[in-house]
Amino acid sequence: MKDQRTVEGSQATVRYTVNASILLTELPLLERPAAAAAAGFRAIELWWPWPDDPTPEQARLDALRTALDDAGVRLTGLNFYAGQLPGPDRGALSIPGEESAKFRANVEVAAEFARSVGCRALNALYGNRVDGVPEEEQDALALENLALAARAADRAGAVLLVEALNAPESPRCPLVSAPRAMEVVERVNATTRLDNARFLLDLYHLSMNGEDLERVIDTCTGRTGHVQIADNPGRGAPGTGSLDLPALLERVGKAGYDGWVGLEYKSPEGADPFTWLPRDARAS
C-alpha cells in the first residue's frame, strides 16, 4: 500500500488520529496516549472511556487530561455515553428509560471535558430499536437528545457528529445508511438553528452496508465533520481487505475535507497495528 501521508492528486495532507478505544487496548486507558505518541502519532480519539459510568468523578477526568498533556497528544474526538462498545447494543440516546437518562446525564460532563482539552468533535450514537416502543417515539426522543447534545457541543466549541452504523453488525440500529444519517443531521440543525451537526463518514460501516462509497463521498463530504477508516472485510488495518482506501481518501480530500481521519480498526493481539503506515506519515 502506498504512503497515504500525501495522497497523489490531493491538495490536503491526511491527518491521522488513533482511536484508542479499539487500538492499544492491551494497555490501561491512561497509558494509551503515551503509546500513541511513542508510535509517532500526535492525536487520538476515544469512545466514552467509562461505559459503566456516564458521570465519573472529577479525579478520573483530570487523570485522563493529565495523560493527554504529558504525552503531548491531542484529543480530536470523543463519544458521548453510548453503552457498551463495540457490540450490537451500542447507542443510548433514542432508548427510553435508563439508557437515555444516562446519555442526558453525560452530555454536559462530556462536553465540558471536550472543551477543557480542546476536542472539537463529539459523537452521539443512536440506540437500537426497542420492542414495544413505537419507532416514532424513539425518533422523537432521539431528536430531543441530539438537540441537547448539539447545544452542549456548541458551548464547547465542537461539532456534533451523527454516525451511520452497519446493518450486519448492528441489525436493530435504525441509522444504517448515509442518507438516513444525513436526514438526522438536517433535522438536528433545523431544530437548534446552530448548524453544528455533521455527518461522521465511516468508510467501513458504509461499505458493510453495500453503499456506493464514491457517491456517498461526493454527496456527503460537504456536511462531513469527521472520517473514520477500517478495511473490509474484517475491520482490519488498511491493506488487509479489499477497500481502496488511498483512492477513497483522495476523493474525500478532493471533495473538500481536510479534517482528521480516525484509525478505527482491529489489530491481532500482539501485532504492531501501524506497520502499514510509514512513521513519517503518522505525525499530524
Where in the sequence numbering do the catalytic residues fall?
A: 163, 264
> Are 274 and 236 within 8 A, CB to CB?
no
Q: Which H helix or E strand runs over 168?
A: none
Q: Give 214-221 contacts, CB < 8 A, sequence gap 24+.
A: 214/248, 214/251, 216/178, 217/248, 217/251, 217/252, 217/255, 218/251, 218/255, 219/178, 220/178, 220/182, 221/252, 221/255, 221/256, 221/257
Query: What is the number of other CB atoms lying within 10 angstroms of the CB of residue 130?
Result: 16
Q: Which H helix or E strand runs over 97?
A: none
Amino acid in the structure at residue 126: Y
Query: What is the number of other CB atoms lying within 10 angstroms of the CB of residue 279?
Result: 10
Shortest CA distance to 226 belongs to which of 246, 197, 247, 189?
197
> Are 220 and 182 within 8 A, CB to CB?
yes
Print the SS3 string covering 4-72.
CCECCCCCCECEEEEECCCCCCCCCHHHHHHHHHHCCCCEEEECCCCCCCCCCCHHHHHHHHHHHHHHC
* Residue carrying the nine cell digits 487523570: 63
Distance CA(165)–CA(264), nearest Å, equals 13
Q: What are phi and psi of 2, to 5 degrees?
A: -75, 160
